[in-house]
Amino acid sequence: MNKIISGFILACLFTASVAAGEGMISVKSAHSVNVTADRLESILGAKGMTVFARIDHAAGAQKAGKTLLPTELLVFGNPKVGTPLMLCSRSIAIDLPQKALIWQDAAGDTWISYNDPQFLKLRHNTQGCDAVLQKVAMALGNFANKAAE
């Protein structure tokens, strides 16, 4: 039964998203990069997540005399979720806290991209944390979809 529910949840997450690369999930946003990042930051705060940093890569590129389409990165997390993952697999700490990349493509579309927790499970050979990883996958999908709508 759990496999059926998990499959259904993952199918729902993927219907609103498209893979941007191995191990990443991307959700198309109806808003600009800045507005999407603002919305996501607000959603994360309301859910008790700590936003550790917000990095404007386009502004950094401009300081270097380069042009980059709007690109922002939010770094966020919650030790109540991250710590159990690190206890299952210490190397997963390299991918924590979580990150969400909000970026504009050449066609002008805005995307929210984040690491697929199932990919992190494989990457770090994480054992014994399936329930936590499923919760993380659901939460990340919900956060991205709400920010994008």
Q: Is the pLDDT of residue 94 over 50?
A: yes
Q: Tell me: the pLDDT tens digits for 60-79?
A: 999 999 999 999 999 999 99
pLDDT band for position 22 (cuts 50, 70, 90): confident
Position 12 scores a pLDDT of: 43
Position 5 scores a pLDDT of: 43
pLDDT band for position 107 (cuts 50, 70, 90): very high
Mean pLDDT lowest for which of 7-11, 56-60, 76-80, 97-101? 7-11
Mean pLDDT, range 82-101, rounded to an integer: 96
CA distance 1 to 140: 23
Position 14 scores a pLDDT of: 43
User: What backbone phi and psi angles, to 5 degrees, belong to 71?
Assistant: -150, 115
Position 8 scores a pLDDT of: 41
User: How high does pLDDT run on average in the chain?
Assistant: 89
Handedness of CA 82, 86, 87, 89 (dihedral sign): positive
First to last CA, the chain: 31
Q: Tell me: the pLDDT tens digits for 1-11?
A: 444 444 444 44
Position 38 scores a pLDDT of: 98
Domains, the chain, with CATH or none = 2-148 (3.30.310.70)
Q: Is the pLDDT of residue 16 over 50?
A: no
Helix (H, G, I), strand (E, B) or coil at 51: strand
